[in-house]
């Protein structure tokens, strides 16, 4: 039996700790805290040996509140690092112990839950056990990410998630961009109160920045965002207004076909504020492309100009900007850090998967080659879920790359995207006998190479934080 040194904690004078036995981790409690498990003895003392179940995670969160999520969006710097695999949290903990930023360690969308075959219970419990094992007491958030339905919001909040990212995209009209002014006028229902509020008006948001609306622009914006604002308002009133749940509210309008203009951003924020909706963060869609797992594609000058205005609008209303698909957008980070004055939420999701696969390429070339070959086959299927501009012909063929050079695939954008977007298919692929083709082998490999993976995350997530201007703690 191997005790995890940092996991030794005391409550009411009784010891609780974690240890591994034959490759399986258990909780051991000397006192009676309500953990479900078997009674046994360790070093002559009676203990309960409790498996890492959801029930025991719930007890652990009560006895040691640092293992339960807190609200982090109110902190100056927060950073989302979903742990899709349930193995990245020890690495994430090491990263954030060293930086002046609060992590959202549990963060998944419904799509990610489906693709990884997990539940919100499991996602949060993994983080709870990891923070206990490694004694991470600083605090972390739990994000029900990109939720679109009231029942999903309720599911995450009931489990104690401390943040909901409401995805309003189903209520945003993408077709309006293709309509001319006459078609917009025909589709628009007159709203006297809104017209009175905006037409011909200018709004000073500070720092010499004003936004102003004419009739045509206003009609267009109402048509695109009207239903999304009503949806966000109803979710707020159902779940947040009475303060029953201790959770932050993020409004996401980023999953649209066109970027959010500063004028649109102002309108949405202003209307939500007038409706009495309180939210901690908003995620507009920024100009240029934020594709998965690679750097920003677009005009950095335009990005800088628009980020200046978006940041000022957020400051004016008193919330933080949230930057989604933030992984690997290295060229934008210094701009984001500067324009938001170091007050932001940035979300990354899949980049820790890529680092996990880099470890596979480093330590098991044979397995990596099998997965890479499968990813090439599965690529077309995966593009149904993601917008990417991957050029498979630019990826060096497997038989031209030596084992030692396999990790270099993760320095090449097209290869990164190939592995990035096929993650769900790779993890869920099954053999004819029903067993997983890769999943179990991968988890075994990652468990055996936890230190290598932690080092990879320290380097990679650390680079994100350094470029954003986050100070070392």
The residue among 87 and 224 lying less far from Zn ion, judged by its C-beta, is: 224
The interface with Zn ion within residues 302-321 (CB under 5 A) comprises: none
- Please give the C-alpha separations between residue 362 and each of 86, 233, 306, 357, in angstroms, as whole numbers: 20, 49, 40, 9
Greatest pairwise CA separation for the chain in angstroms: 83
For residues 358 and 419, give the distance between their C-alpha atoms in angstroms, rounded to a whole number.
Answer: 10
For residues 450 and 87, give the distance between their C-alpha atoms in angstroms, rounded to a whole number.
Answer: 8
| From 134, 145, 271, 355, active-site residue | 145
Number of residue whose CB is nearest Zn ion: 324
- Per CB under 5 A, which region of 109-117, 193-201, 235-243, 254-262 contacts Zn ion? 254-262
The interface with Zn ion within residues 414-443 (CB under 5 A) comprises: none
Helix (H) or strand (E) holding 249, with range, is strand 248-252
Beta bridge partners, 283, equal 252
The residue among 324 and 372 lying less far from Zn ion, judged by its C-beta, is: 324
Smallest separation (angstroms) from Zn ion to the CB of 165: 7
* Residue 121: Cβ within 10 Å count: 15
Sort strands 248-252 and 209-212 into parallel, antiparallel or unpaired.
unpaired
Q: Does 254 bind Zn ion (CB under 5 A)?
A: yes
- Per CB under 5 A, which region of 249-257, 314-322, 333-341, 355-363 contacts Zn ion? 249-257
**Is 355 among the residues known to form the active site?**
no
Residue-level length of the chain: 473
Smallest separation (angstroms) from Zn ion to the CB of 27: 35
- Per CB under 5 A, which region of 24-32, 285-293, 301-309, 323-331 contacts Zn ion? 323-331
The residue among 114 and 444 lying less far from Zn ion, judged by its C-beta, is: 114
For residues 315 and 262, give the distance between their C-alpha atoms in angstroms, rounded to a whole number.
Answer: 13
Smallest separation (angstroms) from Zn ion to the CB of 285: 8
Smallest separation (angstroms) from Zn ion to the CB of 336: 15
**Is 328 among the residues known to form the active site?**
no
The interface with Zn ion within residues 82-101 (CB under 5 A) comprises: none
| From 152, 248, 250, 328, active-site residue | 250
The residue among 220 and 324 lying less far from Zn ion, judged by its C-beta, is: 324
The residue among 91 and 288 lying less far from Zn ion, judged by its C-beta, is: 288
Place of tokens 């707020």: 236
Q: Does 292 bind Zn ion (CB under 5 A)?
A: no
Query: Which residue from 354, 355, 326 is spatially nearest to 455, judged by alpha carbons?
Result: 355
Helix locations, 134-286, DSSP H: 150-158, 181-187, 192-198, 215-239, 262-274
Q: Does 264 bind Zn ion (CB under 5 A)?
A: no
* Residue 236: Cβ within 10 Å count: 20
Burial category of 349 from C-beta neighbours within 10 Å (exposed 0-12, middle 13-18, buried 19 and up): buried
For 419, the 3-state DSSP assignment is helix
The residue among 248 and 254 lying less far from Zn ion, judged by its C-beta, is: 254
Smallest separation (angstroms) from Zn ion to the CB of 292: 11
For 472, the 3-state DSSP assignment is strand
Query: Which residue from 374, 371, 299 is spatially nearest to 332, judged by alpha carbons?
Result: 299
The residue among 129 and 353 lying less far from Zn ion, judged by its C-beta, is: 353
Interface with Zn ion (CB under 5 A), residue total: 2
Smallest separation (angstroms) from Zn ion to the CB of 157: 19
Give the one residue of 75, 324, 329, 460 binding Zn ion; rule: CB under 5 A: 324
The residues of the shown chain that bind Zn ion, judged by CB under 5 A, are 254, 324
Catalytic residues: 145, 250
């Amino acid at each position: 039996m191997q005790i995890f040194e940092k996991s030794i904690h005391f409550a009411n004078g009784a010891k609780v700790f974690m240890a591994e036995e034959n490759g399986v981790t258990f909780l051991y409690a000397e006192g009676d805290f309500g953990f479900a498990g078997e009674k046994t003895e360790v070093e002559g003392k009676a203990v309960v040996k409790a498996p890492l179940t959801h029930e025991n995670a719930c007890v652990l969160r009560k006895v040691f509140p640092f293992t339960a999520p807190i609200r982090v969006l109110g902190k100056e710097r927060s950073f989302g690092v979903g742990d899709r695999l349930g193995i990245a949290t020890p690495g994430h903990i090491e990263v954030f112990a060293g930086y002046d930023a609060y992590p959202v360690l549990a963060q998944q969308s419904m799509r990610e839950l489906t693709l990884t075959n997990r539940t919100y219970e499991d996602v949060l419990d993994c983080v709870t056990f990891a923070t206990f094992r490694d004694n991470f007491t600083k605090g972390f958030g739990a994000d029900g990410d990109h939720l679109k339905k009231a029942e999903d919001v309720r599911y995450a909040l009931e489990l104690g998630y401390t943040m909901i990212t409401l995805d309003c995209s189903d209520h945003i009209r993408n077709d309006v961009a293709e309509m001319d002014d006459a078609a917009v006028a025909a589709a628009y229902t007159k709203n006297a109160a809104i017209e009175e509020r905006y037409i011909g008006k200018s709004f000073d948001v500070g720092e010499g920045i004003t936004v102003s609306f004419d009739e045509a622009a206003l009609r267009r914006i109402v048509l695109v965002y009207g239903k999304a604002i009503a949806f966000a308002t109803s979710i707020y009133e159902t779940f947040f207004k009475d303060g029953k749940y201790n959770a932050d509210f993020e409004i996401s309008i980023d999953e649209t076909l066109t970027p959010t203009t500063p004028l649109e951003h102002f309108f949405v924020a202003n209307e939500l504020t007038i409706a009495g909706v309180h939210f901690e963060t908003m995620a507009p869609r920024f100009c240029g492309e934020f594709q998965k797992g690679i750097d920003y594609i677009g005009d950095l000058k335009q990005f800088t100009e628009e980020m200046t205005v978006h940041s000022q609008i957020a400051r004016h209303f008193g919330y933080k900007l949230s930057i989604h698909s933030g992984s690997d957008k290295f060229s934008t980070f210094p701009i984001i850090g500067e324009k938001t004055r170091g007050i932001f939420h940035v979300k990354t999701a899949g980049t820790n998967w890529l680092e996990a696969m880099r470890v596979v390429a480093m330590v098991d070339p044979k397995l990596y080659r099998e997965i890479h070959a499968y990813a090439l086959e599965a690529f077309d299927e995966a593009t149904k879920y993601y917008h990417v501009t991957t050029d498979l012909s630019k990826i060096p063929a497997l038989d031209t790359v030596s084992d030692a050079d396999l990790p270099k695939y993760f320095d090449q954008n097209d290869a990164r995207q190939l592995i990035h977007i096929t993650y769900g298919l790779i993890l869920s692929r099954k053999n004819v006998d029903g067993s997983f083709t890769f999943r179990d082998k991968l988890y075994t490999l990652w468990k055996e190479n936890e230190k290598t993976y932690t080092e990879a995350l320290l380097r990679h997530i650390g680079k994100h934080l350094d470029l954003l201007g986050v100070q070392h703690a």
